[in-house]
Chains A and B, each alone.
Chain A
C-alpha cells in the first residue's frame, strides 16, 4: 500500500513539473498549448535578448504567435515533430540541470542567465544529435524573429513592392481555393511582360512589410 502511495506521489510530482504551472499567455493560440507558448517565449528571449545590433528582442518579435501560425499550415506529422522538439528542450533540464541553484526546472522556469547557459550547452555539445536539436530550435526561432517586420526593415531587407504584370497564365489560374469564375482578368488586361528594368532599392516596400503593417 505504502509503495502505491509513494508511487502516486512521485507520478503526481512528475506530472506537476511537466504540465502544470505555466503562466497564462496574453493571447489565445490556435495550436500552441500554454506550456509550449511559455517555452517559446523564454527561448526567444534567450536567443534574441533586448539591445545589441538589432533593436527588436525575441519577446518584441512575438515568436510564439508566429510559430502558432506555422503549426497551423504544417501537416500533422511535421507538426508533431516540431512539438516534440519543444517538449524535449523544455524538459531536458529536469534531467540534466542548468548551472546554478534551482537548475532542475523546466527551461521556461529557469532564470534568464541559466537559459542562456542551457542554450550554450546544446550548441557546443560534442554530441551532434544535441547540436542538431539546438540548430532546429534556433532555426524556428530565427524564422519567427525575421517575420517581425521591423527586423527586416531595420536591416533594409524588407521586400519591395512589385506590381506583377498580367500574363497568359493569369487568365487560367484562380487564386488557390477559388473558382475560375473569380479570375479578375480578361485578354484585354494582358500587360507588357517585364522589360528587365532593375528594381529600384529605394522604392516603396511591399504593403505587408511597410511601416504600420501588422
Chain B
C-alpha cells in the first residue's frame, strides 16, 4: 500500500491501487458539515483527510436538464423516497454535498427553537449567545447576505407584494452567494460561480491549509478497537455508477462523520451498530415536508429570471411553517402540474406567466427512522406524516393561495387531489381551508432532513453531546444535520455549519 501525500486533492482517475493514510482526523463527507470541520481543523494545525464519495463538479460537468442533472448529482438518481408516507427526498453525492445543488438559503435557527432544544434536550450551551459567534464566523466566510434587489425578478417581487398586501412580514432571503446574476439555476449548479458552495469555499481553504481531499471514496465502516475509534475503511467508487474498485484505510486519532443524516447512521449500523447504547442511532428522522403551488398572472412573470429562492416569509414560523419563492428547471417544476393531454399542455404553456412558491413545515410529530439495508449503503427510510402536521401543511397551502390572490394572480393551480385543478378567486380557494385533506391528496417533498443521530444532554437519550462528540466513544464525532435534536423550523444548512464550526473547535482543543 502506498502513502498519500497530504495537502492534495485526489480524483477517481488517479487511484491505481489500494492505499492507506495516517492522519490526525478523518472527516467523512464534504457537505456543509464536513467541509467546515475540515477547514477549521487544518487551520488549527491538524492533519486532516476529507473523504467524499462524490466527485468534484466543474461548470462543464453541470447538466442543465433537470432529470439528467439529478441522476448525476443526487443519490439514487434523485428518486429516493420514504416508505410509510411516500415522500421523495434528495441527498447530493458530490464534493460540497447538498451545497452544490441547494438554493443557498441561509437562516439562523430562531430563538424559540434554540430555547426548545436547550430545555427539551438538556443542552446547556446551545443558546443564541453560544451559537451566534459560530453563525457569524461561517456567515463572514461565505458572504451570507440578503439577496440584492436587482436580481430578485418578478417571481420574488410578486411574493413580496402579496405579503405586503396582507400584512405578512417577508424579506429578501439571506444566501451564501457573491455576485448572483439571477439565473435561477441553483438546482443544477451555479454556472456564474456566484453561489458560495462548499466545494468553492471551505474545501479549497482546507486544501490550502494542508488537508488531503479524497474524492470518489466511499467510507463503508468505522474501524474501532478497544473502545476507541482507529480510523475508517472503504472502497474507491466510480463517479455515477458507484462501481467499487480499490480498497483504502485511513488511520486517524479521531473520526468525524459528516456523511449527512441519512448516511451517517447507516455507516454506524454497518460498523457493528457502533455508539448505539442509547438506541437512538437512525431514530427520530424528521423532515421539513414542503408543498408548492403555482399562481398564474395576466402579465408575463418571466419566472426563470431571479435568484432561485430570493424571498421568504417567516411570519408563520410559530404556526409551524415558512413560506418561500421557488424556481427549478421547468421540467422539474412541471412534473407537479395536474392533468394530461390538451389540459396539461395548456398548463405548461402558462409557466411564463406563473410564479411558484412553496411552504416548508416543521413536522415535529412526524417521526421516522433510517435503517441499513442488507447490501450497500443506501438507507431504508420509513416515515409517516402525522395528521396534525398534515393540518399545518393544509394551512400553509391556504396561506399561499391567499398571498397569490393578494399579489394579483388570476388563478392558482394547487395540485391537490379532490379540489378543482384551477381556482380563480380567493373565495373559491376557501375549499383549501374547509375540505379535510388526506395525506395522499397532496404532493410533498422533503429535502431538509435531520435528527438521526441527535444530540442530547442525557447519554441514554441521544447519540452525541451538544459539541457533536459521541457519548459512547471518546474520539468519534458527528457533524451533519443528524445531530439536530429537533427540526430547526428554518432551512438547516447555516445551523448545520455553525454547529460543525463549534464541533471543530471542541475537537481541536481535545486532540
Contact = CB atoms under 8 A, between A and B. Distances in A.
B302 A196 contact: no
Interface residues of A, number: 63
A196 B181 contact: yes
Interface stretch (B70-78, B226-234, B465-473): B70-78
A52 interface: yes
B185 A194 contact: no
Contact of B180 (A139, A146, A196): A196
A48 B343 CA distance: 9
Interface in B463-509: none
A73 B68 contact: yes
Interface in A127-172: 128, 131-132, 135, 138-139, 142-143, 145-147, 152, 155-157, 159-160, 162, 164-165, 167-170, 172
Interface string B185-221: 1000001111000011001100100000000000000
A131 B203 CA distance: 44
Given A54-B345, A73-B71, A157-B351, A139 B417 contact: no
Contacts of A142: 331, 334-335, 337, 344, 348
Interface in A173-202: 173-180, 193-199, 201
Given A47-B340, A172-B207, A143 B331 contact: yes
A208 to B, nearest CB: 7
A81 B68 CA distance: 17
B13 interface: yes
A156 B303 CA distance: 10
Contacts of B191: 162, 164
A119 B285 CA distance: 36
A197 B181 contact: yes
A74 B77 contact: yes
Contacts of B148: 196
Given A194-B181, A194-B194, A53 B346 contact: yes
Nearest to B178: A193
A46 B58 contact: no
Contacts of A18: none
Contact of A196 (B56, B57, B60, B194): B194
B477 to A, nearest CB: 26
Interface residues of B, number: 74
Nearest to B335: A139
B192 A164 contact: yes
B479 to A, nearest CB: 22
Contacts of B194: 193-194, 196
A145 B351 CA distance: 15
A81 B88 CA distance: 14
A50 B344 CA distance: 12
Contact of A75 (B67, B86, B242, B342): B242
Contacts of A62: none
Contacts of A196: 148, 150-151, 178-181, 194
A68 interface: no
B436 interface: no
Contacts of A169: 56, 193, 199-200, 203-204
A172 B181 contact: no
A123 interface: yes
Contact of A199 (B77, B182, B417): B182
Residues of B contacting A: mostly: loop
Contact of A146 (B11, B304, B334): B334
B65 interface: yes
B102 to A, nearest CB: 17
A128 B239 contact: no
B183 interface: yes
Given A73-B77, A74-B77, A77-B76, A159 B64 contact: yes
A209 interface: yes
Contacts of B56: 169, 172-173, 176
A172 B204 contact: yes
B124 to A, nearest CB: 39
A77 B14 CA distance: 28
Nearest to A179: B13
Nearest to B349: A53
A83 interface: no
A53 B192 contact: no
A208 B188 CA distance: 15
B58 A138 contact: no
Kindly list the 8 A-B residue pairs having the minimum CB-CB distance in the complex, ordered from nearest. Answer: A194-B179, A128-B440, A146-B331, A53-B349, A139-B335, A173-B56, A164-B59, A196-B179
Interface of B: 9, 11-14, 55-61, 64-68, 71-72, 76-77, 79, 86, 95, 148, 150-151, 178-183, 185, 191-194, 199-200, 203-204, 207, 239-242, 302, 304-305, 329-332, 334-335, 337-342, 344-346, 348-349, 351-352, 378, 417, 438, 440, 443
